[in-house]
Structures are given as C-alpha cells and as structure tokens.
Structure 1
Amino acid sequence: GHKLDSSDVVWSLQNAVNNHYVGADQLGDLKEITNPNANTVVITLAKPNPRLLRALAGRAGIVYDAESKTNYAKSAVGSGPFTVSTADQSQIALQRNDSYWGKKAASSQVTLYYYANEESMADAMKAGKISMALPLSASTASELGKTNGITADSGISFDKVMLAFNNDNNSPFSDEQIRKMTRYAIDAKTIAKNAPDAYAPLGGPISPLEDGYEDLSGLYPYNLEQGQRMRTYFGVNYIAPIDILVPKEYESIGNDVKTAIENLNINTNLEVLDSAADVTERMNAGTYNIALTTMSDEGDASVFDNGQSVFHFENGDAQQAYANAMAATNDNDYQARMRDYARAVSENAASDWLYTRKNFLAVSDGLQGYPKNLTDRLLPLNRLTLH
C-alpha cells in the first residue's frame, strides 16, 4: 500500500552500501546518491563503472520499502506481479498481485516446492504433483522426458566448464608454451560435442550471455602435431608429471584429457574426487596442476586480471586490457574492450575453456510461458500458465 518513489531507492542503495548487502561491491566507487524529485534518482560516481546498470538490475538494486518495519526473514514486501501468501522451508505460495503497476501475472497462484534431492523431485514430477521440475541433471531430465505427458527442455546458463591451469611458478603451467601446446593437444570441440550438459564450445573466459562475448573456440583448434612439435622444445624429462583433478561427474572428460596430455609424451596422473567442492578446495589450497572446474558467475572473467586468484595468471597485456574495459564510459566501448581482454587471456592460454553449460528442466505438457535461460539464478513466473 505504500507508494514506491525515489526516496525508497536512495534509502535502499544507502543501506545496501552501508550494510554490505549482496552485490553492493558491484556498485563501484559511489560519490553521491540523490533524488531531486519523486521520480528521479541521480547516482554520481567517483570514477567510471561500466557495470553499474547491470549491478542495479541485480541484488544490489533491490528497492526496499523505507516506511516498512517488516522482518524480511519472516515475510516479504515488494512491488512485483506476485505477493507471498504463505512461506516455509518446504514451499512458497505466490498470489497474483492485482494492484501491480505492470502487466498482470497470467496465473492467479504459483506454488514453489523445495525438495531435498533430485530423485524426490523427479518422483513428484512423474506423479503429477508438480508441473515443472528444475534444476535437473542432464540424465534426469532425459529420463523424465520419456514419461508420458512430460517434456524435457533446456536453456543456457553462465556456467563455464573449463580446465583450470595453475600458472603458479611451482607449476609446469607457469610456462606459456606448455600451456599452449596442451590446448592444442586437447580436442575441446569434441569434448563439448559429447558432453550431455554442453550448450556450445567456448574457448575463452566469457560465456555467450555475458558482456564482451566472442566465440574464441577457434584460437587453439585440435592439432596434436602442432602440440607435439612444441613439445620438442623441452627435454624429455624437463616437464614433471602433471596431476589432473576432476570431480566424479566428469571422470570421462578427465580420462580424455589424460590421454591427450600423454600423447605429448608427458606423464600424467588422474585424480577423481567425490565432488566439485572437493576440487575447489584443492584449487584454493594451490595443490593442483590442472583442475576440471566450473565458473558460474557473470563477470567472473575478472579473476584473470591479476595473479591473486587460484589461477595465478599474470600478463601485462591482459591487465591493461581489463583496465581499459573498466574505464569505459559507454556500453559499446565496454563490450569491445572486454572482447579484447578475453582474447588476450585466451591467446596466452591462461586456462582451457571447454564449453558453456546448459540448464535442464522438465515440464508438464500444456505448461506455457516458463523460463529456460539462467533458471539457476532467475525464475520469472509472471507469464506461466497451464492449459
């Protein structure tokens, strides 16, 4: 019932910064936030931040009700197409907000159920208890798609499945030539073609839905002969045995990578860990040469800007390209400069990016208006209808 105006926006942004809300660090170096009238907010920056509008479209830009004393841990206040009628740890019931300022939601009610595991969610889908199940693994989505009345579907995510190279001085991959010959020896396009969760080959640190994307999968096409020629620059025993870490779900890709590197006459050891979290733990500890991992955040290409990340990659050209991108004052320049940065990172073979990953879901026949892309982080339900 309270009117949303510019004072709510100013108050919300100030709270986001002062209380370090999620995403507040993406707002950049703020100088001043003012509202000259009820419909206008003016944000003044101390220096350019070409990602500001994107940050405001995310968590950092949530507008809270300055007049409300609501405990957000227990209830909700918003200005969207739905209101929250009931909520607990197992479900949230959304009711159409008939006073919504925009186009009204297509359905009068949408209920979200939360399941402890994928198996129980799939069982509920088969039993007709729910109309949509997500997120799903590729295998479970395929299995549900074989059930009468259910369709398996997919979209694209920010997820980048990659072979992370440890560029630290103690790793063989501190040598640029070793990184490059390894990329030539690995048939990334065939790996992407055979992976059930692959959307498309990648080749660089920026995925198709991110700013500055360019298809860089052709930079290091599979060329074992080229890799083997580069290998002859090094003595037989110059390169120490290489350890490859992979989570259990990607063991088959790990075996392909192991064989590829062994074709360069380099001894390798494949270590299969129980989960992706175990791989991440080892990467954080720095005890790896190559690790098959997934990067999942928009803008995470910035981790190759300096040597402080788990990749320990440092390159002057890449650092300058990133600084140029962050200094952009219009979107066209920002996009072009991010492409330059991504190309510099990939040309120097900071790692080997295999493919962009899909989101998988299953829907009941007759369900329309459901989202497909980025469903691991966004779930717009205002167009959802069941016929």
Structure 2
Amino acid sequence: MTRYLTKAAAAAVMMASALVATACSAGSGSTPNASPGNGADGKTLAVGLVAEPASLDFTTADGAAIPQALLGNVYNGLVKQDDSGKIVPDLAKSWTVSPDRKTYTFTLVDNAKFTNGAPFTAADAVFSINRVKSAWTTSLKAAMDVVQQATAVSPTQLKVVLGAPSNDWLFRMTTRIGAMFSQTGVDKLATEPVGTGPYRLGSWQRGDSITLRRNDNYWGTKPYFDQVTLKYFKDPTALNNALLTGTINIISTVQAPESLGQFTSNDKYQVIEGTTNGEVVLSFNNSKPVFRDKRFRQAIRHAIDHKALLDTCFAGRGKLIGSMAPPTDPWFEDLTAATPFDPAKAKSLLQASGSAGASLRLRLPTLPYATSCGQVVKSQLEQVGLKVRIDQLEFPAAWLTTVFKNADYDLSIISHVEPRDLGAVFGNPAYYTRYGTPQLKALLAAADAGDEKTQVAKMKEAARLLSDEAAADWLFLLPSLVVADKNITGIPKNAITEQFDLSRLARS
C-alpha cells in the first residue's frame, strides 16, 4: 500500500520506518522565495501526493507509496507497461520465449549505468532476480518462485529458465519485483536507493517531502525537469490549497472529488479523469470465527448500498465492479449484480449464521477515502443490526503493523493498487485477508500455467468464486483524478501501474 494498499499491503498492503540523512532540503534547487514547483528556471516541479513512504526499500517494506515514488523514476526494470497495459521494453531491448514457454532470453541495453557509477549488465539482472528469492521479505516475492535459474550469457544477454510455464511471471517483472539493482548498491536501500532511472534521490525531508534530482547519466531520454519534489499531504483540503497557492503544480490523486469544481471552473488548471486498478476493498479477516461462516460474510455484502456509498463518500466518482478484477484486466466481468443491496436478506443471513448483533472493529487507515467511506459502512452495517466500532490507525506505520502484518482487525478499508492483484490479496492464507483456499489456489495455478484462453477463463472463475464466497466486499474502483497547472504536459490519463511516471512530464 502506499497512497493506497499495494497488494501486499498496498495496497492499499506494508512498511517499516527509516529516516534518510542527506544534506539537501526538500526545496533545494529553487531560487530564494520560490516554491518547490516554481523555480526561476522553470525546470523544477512539485507534485502533491498522500501516504508518504515509511521506508524507501520496497524489498523489505510493503506499500504502494514506495514504488509510486521510485519505480520508473529511480529504478528501471527489464520490461515495463505502457499506458494501455501492454508489456514493452525497458532495460531489455527485446526478448524471446522458447516454444515450451519456460525459457526467456533477454537482450539488454549496453549503455545503462547505476547512479553509483557501476555499469548495468546481465550479471546485475541475475543478482536482482536471485535477490528477490533470497533477500526480499515482502509477500510479493512469491512471484519469483517460479524462476529455476537466471544466467548471464554475456554482459548484454540474460537467460531465465522457469520451472513451469507462467503467464504471470513476465507481467510481474513490470512491477517492483522486476526492479534492477546494483550489486554494489543494496546496503542502504531504505535511505539511499541506487537505480538506473531518469532520477536519483536528492533528499528526504521526513514527514514532508522527497526530492528527486535528474540523473544526468541516464541511458534513455533525459527528463525535462531538473528537480521534482514529491510533497505529502494527509488532509485533502491542504492538498487542494497547495495547488491553488502555487506550492505544488500537480495533485496526483484528488482525495476529495466534491472539491473538483474549484478547478474545473478555473482556466489556470487542467483536470484529467481516467481509471485505475485500485479496488477499494472492505476487507474481512477470514481467520476470525465470525467470518468463517459464509452466510455472515454474504450478509455484510448484502447490507452495503454501494451506489449510495459511492455517491456519499466519493461524490459518485469511480466505478462499481463487484469483484477483485478491474476493467483493465483481461478477465474482468461486472459482478455488481451478484450481491445486490438487500437489507432484509442481510438480516436473514445474520440470523441464520447465529451472529446477529455481532460487534465488529472497523480499523481504518488515516487516508481520506477510507475515513469517509468507513463512516458510511458503519452506518449501513448498523442498520442491519451489527455493532461497529471505528478505530483510526495512522497510515502507513500503524495500519501496516496492526492490520496488514498482525491481522488484528475484523474489517478494514484499503485500496489495493497493485496490478492484477487478485491472487496476491486472496491466494495466500498468510496474507492479511487470511483467505487462500485450496479451490482458489487451484484456479490460480491453472490460470498461470495454461494458454491465454485458459488464463482468462480460469481467472474469471477465480473472481466469481471470490464473489460467491464473499471473501471481501468490493466497494468501488478508484478513478484517476489528476489536477495540474494548465501548462504541464505528459500526464498519463490512467493510473494502472505502481509508479507515478515523472519522466514524461514537461512544461509547455
């Protein structure tokens, strides 16, 4: 999780704390009296975000906030996703796949260097892949288990052999587990990330901002901005005011959609609305006795009026989906009709489960959407006779420790923003949702090993199973709502990857 939960806690899924010790302040590089986003040379930019990382090391700390800031900006992978979700080259110029779909041969760029000066070679790729298996501690590392062997055939050729065909593996290489690390640059990842990307870490002013500086030795197209400051806000009003006053130039994710009118009516700004893959999940702790009864879980789903919730807590923005598959997934099906709002049925199911009037703890991260939607969920569940107590947990540290790591909760709300995260969130019984049934795991395995048609069919079955079993409730899909100064270009419409790509931003 990060601004939301990344599928291993996300995302909104996540993190440890660390303080970066560098010499520069968040606004360094700007002229005196200039805001971080308005340097005299026009080559500085400030972006407003929420949920600051507690660490910069996504190999040991979960949460979407870290890759949001660093992936694609400080770190490159062998491959990445384009705006449509297609897998395209990054540090790998090209690749081939053997007929048995088990051997991948990558041809790498020959001019990339890490920010510590070391050249990037196939040996670094082997090191990075193996390190996921040996040194990473987050739940996402499991996606690399299928790798049997990685070999540097030459400095620019990498061979990866899988133990079995896997539709998922190459896609996962576009996410944080595919980040390439320097063999001599992993000692202080929590505070000193070393990558091959277009930016390098300038400074981290804990509790306020992260400043990235342009990597002048970047192997690809140099970014327009010399310096980008990522400023973090926990209050949506403060975030909006920062743009209105020129403190920042971009709101990466609008937290209070009802406030958009002040920007749409002002020709100084542009509003870009698209989609994300951030499923806002009402999570159930399936290890708790009361949630082991399917009827109880189904009752909660029937008690939620999703349209009213969306209208109330997110100004009607976003999309109702009814499952853990967003429309950008090839296996998406609209399952909103599978569990319609039906308070009478909810009460009947609660009675049948023997848990009518049960008391539940709804433990919420201090994120605006979760706080707002949590009040609606509490009200709707209480209308069918349940007793709900809300606990606010500071995000990321307290929520990640209490809910994500220790599963000390009954209900929670978090947006899982990692791509194709159905299996990550529900396929592992040790994950904070405590689901991972044998039936679901069998469907996920068949989807991964089969051909493309089989993958789509089995993933649809998996999404339907989760819906039928009421493994959680899917409140809505977050929209991508970006507001920026009118003259900022290169802003993507959709947010369907883990990163906020700074490299294509410019000023007209």
Q: TM-score, normalised by structure 1?
A: 0.77
**Same amino acid, percent of matched pairs:** 18
Contact 1:204–1:345 (8 Å) recurs in 2: yes
Cα distance in 1, alignment partners of residues 193 and 346 from structure 2: 59
The residue number in structure 1 matching 2:7 is none
Cα distance in 2, alignment partners of residues 352 and 6 from structure 1: 43
Of 93, 98, 103 in structure 1, the residue corresponding to residue 213 of structure 2 is 93
- Higher mean alpha-carbon deviation, 362-371 vs 28-37, is at 28-37
The residue number in structure 2 matching 1:55 is 172
Query: What letter matches 1:220 in structure 2?
Result: T
The residue number in structure 2 matching 1:214 is 333
Contact 2:186–2:193 (8 Å) recurs in 1: no
CA deviations on 1:308-346 (whole Å, 9 max, x unpaired) are 4443446453343233234x1444433332221121111
After superposition, the Cα gap between the structure-2 partners of 1:141 and 1:25, relative to the gap in structure 1 and judged at 3 Å, is farther
Of 292, 302, 315 in structure 2, the residue corresponding to residue 184 of structure 1 is 302
Q: How does 1:142-153 map to 2 (within 5 A)?
A: 142=260, 145=263, 149-153=268-272
The residue number in structure 1 matching 2:285 is 166
The residue number in structure 2 matching 1:292 is 413
The residue number in structure 1 matching 2:442 is 320
Deviation at 1:271, TM superposition (A): 1.7
Query: What letter matches 1:189 in structure 2?
Result: K
SS in 2 for 1:189: helix
Cα distance in 2, alignment partners of residues 66 and 314 from structure 1: 35
After superposition, the Cα gap between the structure-2 partners of 1:5 and 1:195, relative to the gap in structure 1 and judged at 3 Å, is same
Cα distance in 1, alignment partners of residues 243 and 463 from structure 2: 41
Contact 1:141–1:153 (8 Å) recurs in 2: no
Decide which structure has greater helix share.
1
SS in 2 for 1:199: coil
After superposition, the Cα gap between the structure-2 partners of 1:39 and 1:195, relative to the gap in structure 1 and judged at 3 Å, is same
The answer to whether the aligner puts 1:199 opposite 2:315 as a matched pair is no
Deviation at 1:112, TM superposition (A): 0.9
Query: What letter matches 1:126 in structure 2?
Result: L
After superposition, the Cα gap between the structure-2 partners of 1:7 and 1:252, relative to the gap in structure 1 and judged at 3 Å, is closer
Contact 1:158–1:296 (8 Å) recurs in 2: yes
After superposition, the Cα gap between the structure-2 partners of 1:260 and 1:13, relative to the gap in structure 1 and judged at 3 Å, is closer
After superposition, the Cα gap between the structure-2 partners of 1:94 and 1:136, relative to the gap in structure 1 and judged at 3 Å, is farther
Cα distance in 1, alignment partners of residues 409 and 199 from structure 2: 48
Q: TM-score, normalised by structure 2?
A: 0.61
Contact 1:122–1:133 (8 Å) recurs in 2: yes
Contact 2:381–2:387 (8 Å) recurs in 1: no
Contact 1:180–1:348 (8 Å) recurs in 2: yes
Which ranges in structure 2 are unaligned for 5 or more consecutive residues? Answer: 1-110, 114-118, 205-209
Of 85, 89, 114 in structure 1, the residue corresponding to residue 230 of structure 2 is 114
Query: What letter matches 2:442 in structure 1?
Result: Q
Deviation at 1:43, TM superposition (A): 0.9
Cα distance in 2, alignment partners of residues 304 and 169 from structure 1: 15
Of 461, 464, 482 in structure 2, the residue corresponding to residue 343 of structure 1 is 464
After superposition, the Cα gap between the structure-2 partners of 1:17 and 1:159, relative to the gap in structure 1 and judged at 3 Å, is same
Deviation at 1:94, TM superposition (A): 1.7
Larger Rg: 1
Q: How does 1:348-363 map to 2 (within 5 A)?
A: 348-363=469-484
After superposition, the Cα gap between the structure-2 partners of 1:349 and 1:70, relative to the gap in structure 1 and judged at 3 Å, is closer
Cα distance in 2, alignment partners of residues 185 and 121 from structure 1: 33
SS in 1 for 2:464: helix
The residue number in structure 2 matching 1:269 is 387
Which ranges in structure 1 are unaligned for 5 or more consecutive residues? Answer: none
SS in 2 for 1:216: coil
CA deviations on 1:25-44 (whole Å, 9 max, x unpaired) are 42223222224455532211
